[in-house]
Amino acid sequence: MKIYELIIIFKPKNKIFILKFLNIFKNKLIYYKFTLFNLENWGLIKFNYKIKENNKGSFLFLRFSCENFLINKIKEYLRLNNIFILRYFILKLNKINHNLNIFYFKKRLKKKNEFKKNFKKKN
């Protein structure tokens, strides 16, 4: 079984839909015998550019393990059944610590680079 990360961007102001979606999606994961490691609600985030005429979106992060052929079923479900989803992104993890989030490392790198830039300006 491979480990995957899924990020879903919902249209803003649809909190009730997100809760309904989570219940249905969790039932699908249980039915197909997925193992859910992590579920995070990142909340409402402003975009740098408009996506389908929206300036903001609600982000949801999932980490789970499943067989390769089941990923196509997830993609099909996300594409066909949900009109409130703006975008989704599925990432397959290779040899990484499954307790940490990949985006955590990107944020950390940015902070290090900003520190270096500020340090060079002072000197």
Is 117 or 94 the better-scoring residue by pLDDT?
94
- Tokens 């389908």 belong to 52
Radius of gyration of the chain (CA): 17
Query: Could you give the domains of the chain?
Result: 2-122 (3.30.70.60)
108 pLDDT exceeds 70? no
pLDDT tens digits along 48-82: 888 888 889 888 898 888 888 888 888 888 888 67
pLDDT at position 7 is 92
Instruction: Say if residue 99's pLDDT is above 80.
Output: no
Is residue 45 within 8 Å of 57, Cβ to Cβ? yes
**pLDDT value for 72:** 87
Average pLDDT, the chain: 78
Task: Look at residue 113 and tell me whether its pLDDT is greater than 80.
Answer: no
How far apart (Å, rounded) are the C-alpha atoms in residues 73 and 113?
40
